[in-house]
Amino acid sequence: MISARLRVARSFISTLTYISVTCRVGGVHAFDVLGDPVRRRLLELLADAERPAGELAAVIREEFGISQPAVSQHLRVLREHGFAVVRRDGTRRLYSIRPESLREVDEWMDALRRAWTPRLAALETEVARGKRARREPRDDRTQR
């Protein structure tokens, strides 16, 4: 049982190494961009509709307590790495998601899901076997 768990763990570590090398959007590792909670929240806010920079800054200032220039930096990172686009509407700057970059990340993740689904199912089976073995009596004396 230990060897099966160890094989799954080693395989998982190997895949994580692969992940850190291959998922790049715009020349930067996508998870470096998406790993920041402020940038993830900005994308969540943009998921429904295009929003003005001022509205985004107000929500992020309220939720994270960071300044408007810091929010602008996060929006710039999203824009420069292809996760968001901006357009001018008079004096306002309206931001929206660039769905192509998110599709690229999702396609990459889908390949991992296909690779990991059987391995995670095997791990789940091993964990269930271990729990079952702990619950089963060891000998006749424990059944009394």
In one-letter notation, the amino acid at residue 60 is: I
**Do 20 and 35 form a contact (C-beta atoms < 8 A)?**
no
DSSP, res 26: T
Triad 109, 115, 117: Cα angle to 5°: 95
CATH of 2-128, one of 1.10.10.10, 1.10.3720.10, 3.40.50.720, 3.20.20.140: 1.10.10.10
Tell me the C-alpha distance between 91 and 1, whole Å.
Answer: 64
Q: What is the mean pLDDT of the chain?
A: 80
**pLDDT of amino acid 4:** 54
**Do 85 and 98 form a contact (C-beta atoms < 8 A)?**
yes
Over the chain (144 residues), the average pLDDT of each successive run of 10 is 52 48 55 88 93 96 95 94 93 92 80 84 89 76 54
Tell me the C-alpha distance between 123 and 5, whole Å.
Answer: 7
Helix (H, G, I), strand (E, B) or coil at 75: helix
pLDDT in tens, 86-106: 999 999 999 999 888 888 778
Q: Where are the domains of the chain?
A: 2-128
Tokens standing for 138?
A: 């060891």
Tell me the C-alpha distance between 14 and 31, whole Å.
Answer: 17
Q: Is the pTM of this model over 0.75?
A: no
